[in-house]
Structure 1
Amino acid sequence: MTADATPALVEDRQTAPGPRVRERSAYPRYLAGKVAGAAVSLLAVLVTSFFLFRLIPGDPVKTMTGGRQVSAEQLAAYREEFGLDLPLWRQFTDYCGKALTGDFGTSYQFRAPVVDKITEALPNTLLLTGTAFVLYTALGIFLGTRSAWRRGGLGDRVNTGLALTLYSIPSFWLGLLLIIVLSVGIGPLPGLFPTGGMESGGEEGFAYVLDVAHHLVLPVVTLVAVEYGQTLLVTRSALLDEMGSDYLTTARAKGLRDDLVRRRHAVPNALLPTVTLIFINLGRTVAGVILVETVFSWPGLGGLFYQALSVPDLPLVQGLFFVFAAAVILMNTLADLVYPLLDPRVAR
């Protein structure tokens, strides 16, 4: 290398962007790509929700009349009221135009705006899914770390086997089983919990809170039992991958207690895949609570969706389907956005 080339090489090295600069410039592009992908997914869900539920057999107008004798003129008036007499392409354009402004139409059976019905039922679903989500996430992480750190022991085998068994059980079947055993009662075992609903009625103040909590027990237990296993297995697998790392050997060589090595070093790094799973589960739980709410007659979005399907109440079904899909898409997008903050290599 000549003497003249050396200053130029030094100058190039000084002006070249460092790794931190490259990471800062890469994240906005990564962010824009993920947000754009989520927007395209939402538009695809909007289109799919319109055509998918029109494949359901049955006439919504005839279902709404409840089998009563109705003249052809009255049926035609109903179809005109709800826009069902318009060509399909016109119904589709009207639906998309209104949905983009947050208007999903009027429910056939409730004669109320779909957004109002969703807003009314949403807090009940959030109470159920939020309680279950906190419990099964905490339980899965705790048992997953304990199982991995004591790999091969009796506790690990019991926890893993039980998690796999419960995770494979359909939620509606487990819910029905809990109702039979703990609500109806078997033999000398009396029923301890309500068979369904959210409240008994007539309670106020703290007594009302206790009544709702009493009704909440069985559906929450059902969701926790079915869902905690996935978090446990992912946390256990991630921690097992970390346990052979050199930095843990160095920490032990410095004289740190085994419990301290696990809590301060191994678990934080092993939680990266679990964080992604937590976001995904949060969106999936909101969308997947339909069966549990239906079994326990819980007045949330899942029960409302089942009612809408039985008509079929097309505007309400379409609106709820969009909300369920949007929850999954939103949580997946948030997971994608948070992960590079925990591991910057993802955005490169």
Structure 2
Amino acid sequence: MTSASTPAPSVVPADPARTTEGGAPRTRTSASLPYLRHAAAKLVGAAVSLLAVLVTSFFLFRIIPGDPVKAMTHGMPTTAEQLGTLRHQFGLDLPMWQQFTDYCAKALTGDLGTSFQFRAPVGELIAQKLPATLLLTGTAVLLYSALGLWLGTRSAWRHGSLGDRLNTGIALTLWSVPSFWLGLLLIIVFSVGTGPVPGLFPTGGMESGSGETGFAHVLDVAHHMVLPVLTLVAVGYAQTLLVMRSSLLDEMGNDYLTTARAKGLRDDAVRRRHAVPNALLPTVTMVFINLGHVAAGSILVETVFSWPGLGGLFYQALSVPDLPLVQGLFVVFAGAMILMNLIADLLYPLLDPRVGR
């Protein structure tokens, strides 16, 4: 009588997604380590970029022609002693290296100095003008990002059609138009007396100044926003459209879309649930870059439409030159771009797990 042999236990291959390279089970901590390393590298890169911005902002604007101390006197007769007193008051008589170290030490604590032109802290001036810029450029960025994504998706999905050629041609034409020229053209057409529809929109400013309150004030500001927002949208949506179109065209040749159609999914569902999400990564970069421009505003458009934002303030400071104000605005503009790029870099691994591994 022979005894039945006990069968050997079957070996189940380890799931690579649940194990480390050595075969040990992958814990939640070990799974998050690549993302933490990715995030740490991006944070260090952002800090180095911000330091480079501080150095650049100090030395770059000191090569601008003009004497800021003489500009502060507004052409009034002044003696050499009075000019020397002003230079000493603002620290311009110190050695360059000492001016630089003082500037960096104050900037790292949030002190951006005192404006030569307005005799007020730079931080306060920026805080006063920032809401107007956020309102104008924030509205424009949201509109042209949404418009570019929508038209770029439709153009790529109907590649070669009449609509695709029209969308691409119009976008490229508007993208090549200088924003200040388009703004002036809109003022001629819709505002001044020589246009076909004169007086439809204001020529500039943020409000009429007639003392409206509540909803009437909101309508007044919106009325003043129409032309500058239209200018920014017309010039800005093309970039998002072209990036989204190119990215989606690259995805359309992949086999997974054919598989999705073979499973019976409708064409709209294939585009919405499969193609577009995988094509969004380059467009996310573009959207966050555009969001970084929100704080900077548009110097040319704000100047053309006399919009009371940071762009117009930068133009005023540059014409003096008002060194502390120009440097402070430059740091804010560049810092906003660095922050938005950092957020985009941190979001990439969440949108596509292959990034940062």
TM-score bracket, normalised by the shorter chain, equals over 0.9
Structure 2 partner of 1:45 = 53
Alpha carbons 1:167, 1:227 under 8 Å: kept: yes
Q: How does 1:3-22 map to 2 (within 5 A)?
A: 15-16=23-24, 18=26
What CA deviation, in whole Å up to 9, does each residue of 1:315-338 have, x standing for no partner?
000000000111111111111111
Equivalent residue in structure 2 for 1:65, among 73, 80, 96 = 73
Structure 2 partner of 1:117 = 125
Structure 1 counterpart of 2:59, which letter? F
Alpha carbons 1:181, 1:191 under 8 Å: kept: no
2:295 counterpart of 1:275: no
Alpha carbons 2:134, 2:294 under 8 Å: kept: no
Structure 2 partner of 1:340 = 349
2:214 counterpart of 1:209: no
Residue 17 of structure 1: CA displacement? 5.7
Residue 189 of structure 1: CA displacement? 2.8
- Indicate the structure (1 or 2) with the bigger Cα radius of gyration: 2
What CA deviation, in whole Å up to 9, does each residue of 1:46-97 have, x standing for no partner?
0111111110111111111111111222212211211112221221111111
Structure 2 partner of 1:54 = 62
Equivalent residue in structure 2 for 1:29, among 22, 30, 37 = 37
2:88 counterpart of 1:84: no
Structure 1 counterpart of 2:273, which letter? R
Alpha carbons 2:112, 2:324 under 8 Å: kept: yes
Alignment CA distance shift 1:308-1:198 (3 Å): same
Alignment CA distance shift 1:263-1:13 (3 Å): closer
Structure 1 partner of 2:256 = 247
Between the aligned partners of 1:188 and 1:230, the Cα distance in structure 2 is: 30
Structure 2 partner of 1:266 = 275
Alignment CA distance shift 1:31-1:188 (3 Å): closer
Structure 1 counterpart of 2:298, which letter? V
Moved more, 82-91 or 309-318: 82-91
Structure 1 counterpart of 2:120, which letter? A
Structure 1-normalised TM-score?
0.93
Structure 2 partner of 1:100 = 108
Structure 2 partner of 1:303 = 312
Alignment CA distance shift 1:191-1:109 (3 Å): same
Structure 2 counterpart of 1:282, which letter? L
What CA deviation, in whole Å up to 9, does each residue of 1:136-172 have, x standing for no partner?
0110011111111111111000000111111111111
Moved more, 84-93 or 30-39: 84-93
2:230 counterpart of 1:221: yes
Alignment CA distance shift 1:187-1:329 (3 Å): closer
Alpha carbons 1:23, 1:347 under 8 Å: kept: no
Alignment CA distance shift 1:221-1:133 (3 Å): same
What CA deviation, in whole Å up to 9, does each residue of 1:11-43 have, x standing for no partner?
998744659876521111111111001101101
Structure 2 partner of 1:4 = none
Structure 2 counterpart of 1:228, which letter? Y
Give the number of equivalent residue pairs: 341
Alpha carbons 1:30, 1:347 under 8 Å: kept: yes
What CA deviation, in whole Å up to 9, does each residue of 1:225-274 have, x standing for no partner?
11101111111111111222222212212222211221122111111221
Alpha carbons 1:305, 1:317 under 8 Å: kept: yes
Alpha carbons 2:136, 2:225 under 8 Å: kept: yes
Structure 2 partner of 1:324 = 333
2:197 counterpart of 1:189: yes
Between the aligned partners of 1:22 and 1:344, the Cα distance in structure 2 is: 15
SS in 1 for 2:355: helix
Structure 2: give runs of 5+ residues left out of the alignment: 1-10
Structure 1 counterpart of 2:54, which letter? L
Equivalent residue in structure 2 for 1:168, among 152, 170, 176 = 176
Residue 193 of structure 1: CA displacement? 0.9
SS in 1 for 2:110: coil
Moved more, 271-280 or 215-224: 271-280
Question: By percentage of residues, which structure has more helix?
Answer: 1
Alpha carbons 2:295, 2:332 under 8 Å: kept: no
What CA deviation, in whole Å up to 9, does each residue of 1:198-217 have, x standing for no partner?
11102221111111101111
Moved more, 203-212 or 30-39: 203-212
Structure 1: give runs of 5+ residues left out of the alignment: 1-6
Between the aligned partners of 1:187 and 1:217, the Cα distance in structure 2 is: 17
Moved more, 42-51 or 253-262: 253-262
Between the aligned partners of 2:194 and 2:272, the Cα distance in structure 1 is: 44
SS in 2 for 1:112: coil
Structure 2 counterpart of 1:336, which letter? D
Alpha carbons 2:133, 2:294 under 8 Å: kept: no
Between the aligned partners of 1:190 and 1:270, the Cα distance in structure 2 is: 44
Between the aligned partners of 1:204 and 1:128, the Cα distance in structure 2 is: 20
Between the aligned partners of 1:304 and 1:258, the Cα distance in structure 2 is: 50
